[in-house]
Structure 1
Amino acid sequence: MGPTASGKTDLAIALTEVLPCELISVDSALVYRGLDIGSAKPDTKTLAAHPHALVDICDPGEAYSAASFRRDALIEMERIAAAGNIPLLVGGTMLYFKALMDGLADMPSADPQVREAIEALAAREGWPAVHAELALVDPESAGQIHPNHSQRLSRALEVFKVSGKTMSQLRAEQGQAELPYTVHQFAIAPAQRSVLHSRIALRLRQMFDNGFVDEVRGLMARGDLHADLPAIRAVGYRQVWQHLHGEFDLETAYERALIASRQLAKRQLTWLRGWEGLHWIDSELPRNTQLTNVIKQMSLP
């Protein structure tokens, strides 16, 4: 695990060269075909040499959920373990990791009218007002969701309004599923936040230089995609999509994507700081030292 641009994929690939590991992607953007440059998807050559399960499994017009991920990841983990190898999950979508580790409760189906009412409240008073309303009925969920994380806020409040029960209550009632594996959890990140910010800025600039805008233009040209789809809401894609719709110029799109990327990294680090049983790896250490730290923690020879 780790924040965006922290070096997760490079470390995971290095681990496959010293341990009998097979990779499973834990990334809500990499599941989509055609989201390549802006998602920092490993290139074709890398994927051929080091296959990642759960990459390119969905069309951008489809919605892929944490529940879908848990189902698919468990299938891949069982396949890899049955072959005598180690499932190595790598990515930065913390909600997916949490769903895998803790299980998922059955939640009520979406209610368009309730959702519209919540979005209307947000339009009038802002998402912090929605967060405040959620805190009154479900303080536990509100404490885990940033006031500006619109999608998660809307869903948590919608669950309560539709069912009369909070997400926290539903999860507690249905219990948690325990994985049938010994799990070792690692997070990689630079010790200094400034280093991470520099890496994020460099990678984003490279994306723009390498054709990110043309990639989004190609998605838009399909004609069947829209801004509310999870794929198009991904960090970077949303901002370039808005630029191509004429909402602001390209440099503004870059600056907004940079801010969104930094905010994503901050949310990821917040998740990780509260994660139990996590072992940290400094991304600035030499690769051999990183590998030694992982193998030592796993008590492997």
Structure 2
Amino acid sequence: MNKKNKILPIAIFLMGTTASKKTYLASRLARILPVELISVDSSLIYKKLNIGTDKPRKNDFFYTKHWLIDIKEPYQSYSVIEFYNDVLNIMDKITKKGKIPLLVGGSMFYYNVLINTMSPLLPAANFKIRNMITNKIKNKLYKSYHDMLKTIDIISANKIHCNDIQRNLRALEIFFLTGKTLSEIKKIPGNKIPYNIYQFGLTYFNREILYKNIENRVFKMLELGFEEEVKNLIKNKYLKIHFPAIRCIGYKQMFLYLVNQINYNEMVQQTIFATRHLAKKQLTWLRYWKNLYWFDSNQIYKAYDYLITFIKKKK
């Protein structure tokens, strides 16, 4: 059989907005179907960040069936190339067991690199290079990472917010490691991943219901002890303002409240606003997504029944 006629294994992508019951739906599917779950969530990777990320508890069935949870310390970065390589390795392990990879989460950029391929030239993180770049900023050769990036790759600089330290630093790191700018490398295509991918989107079609669920999620976090969680993280030096994990929604806001830079009401409202903004960005991504079958979170059981039937037929 030649490669063109080779039957590829299937993979399921369950994507959508925050607070849309993706985790709930995936956990129910994992109880019935021969699937293993891979988190596509840039927050769940961090150890010790539990309540604010709505992470499954370790004794939960969902946690035991889920890859890419608790793989990094809060001070560690996780590049998209690391994610890409990790996911391909995990998907291969799952399919060799005769099971189906079910990728679930809302980090749309991660899904995008899987579907639209990753440039083969993107390098892994290199801390020596990062320290060299950081020293240039400390020695005041440049005002900021973004200021430095503008002199090297103005196209990427115009797309990355000036305050997004991690993305600016990553773009600089890529240049010093490869001699090519991030904007140049993005034009170089990679190979498509060897799977037949079926994509499903989940959100509340009624935007007001979605926003209400987001508010409810934030207040539930607070009821579950989110403030105490962040206090302990700060006390034990697991969370600092410059750590990559601070980008997880809620943690920066709570951090600023606990160091008296904002008041309690501002912390709550800023967390709700940031979560709503995330949902809008996710919808913007998905609005132009090809080959996506949508479900309304208000009809979650219909989605469940459909996916059970669909995956059993494909299997």
Q: TM-score, normalised by structure 1?
A: 0.83
AA aligned opposite 2:38? I
Equivalent pairs, count: 287
1:6/1:161 CA distance change after superposition, 3 Å: same
Q: Is the 8 A contact 2:145 2:168 kept in 1?
A: no
1:81/1:256 CA distance change after superposition, 3 Å: same
- The aligned residue for residue 122 of structure 2 is 106
Please say which of residues 3-12 and 65-74 is displaced more in the overlay: 65-74
1:164/1:45 CA distance change after superposition, 3 Å: closer
Deviation, structure 1 residue 194: 1.0
- The aligned residue for residue 182 of structure 1 is 196
Please say which of residues 264-273 and 218-227 is displaced more in the overlay: 218-227
Q: Is the 8 A contact 1:243 1:249 kept in 2?
A: yes
Relative contact order (alpha carbons < 8 A, sep ≥ 6): 1 or 2 greater?
2
SS in 1 for 2:36: strand
Residue identity (%): 32
- The aligned residue for residue 293 of structure 1 is 306
- The aligned residue for residue 27 of structure 1 is 41
SS in 1 for 2:33: coil
Partner deviation per Cα, 1:39-81 (whole Å, 9 max, x = no partner): 0111233246752111112222222222222222122111110
- The aligned residue for residue 38 of structure 1 is 52
Task: Tell me, in whole angstroms, the C-alpha distance in 1 between the residues paired with 2:108 and 2:201.
Answer: 11
Deviation, structure 1 residue 276: 2.0
Deviation, structure 1 residue 11: 1.2
- For the pair 1:191 / 2:205, whether they are aligned, the reply is yes
Gaps of 5+ in 2: 1-14
Q: Is the 8 A contact 1:23 1:50 kept in 2?
A: no
Q: Is the 8 A contact 1:227 1:233 kept in 2?
A: no
AA aligned opposite 1:106? L
Deviation, structure 1 residue 298: 5.5
Residue from 167, 171, 188 that aligns with 2:182: 167
Deviation, structure 1 residue 230: 1.3
Task: Tell me, in whole angstroms, the C-alpha distance in 2 between the residues paired with 1:291 and 1:251.
Answer: 38
- For the pair 1:218 / 2:223, whether they are aligned, the reply is no
- The aligned residue for residue 87 of structure 2 is 73
Gaps of 5+ in 1: 123-129
Question: What does 1:1-301 align with in structure 2 at a 5 Å threshold?
Answer: 1-47=15-61, 50-101=64-115, 102-104=117-119, 105-106=121-122, 110=130, 111-112=133-134, 117=142, 119=144, 137-138=154-155, 145=159, 150-151=164-165, 154-155=168-169, 158=172, 165-173=180-188, 175-223=189-237, 225-287=239-301, 289-295=302-308, 300=313
Task: Tell me, in whole angstroms, the C-alpha distance in 1 between the residues paired with 2:290 and 2:163.
Answer: 23
Task: Tell me, in whole angstroms, the C-alpha distance in 2 between the residues paired with 1:152 and 1:197.
Answer: 28
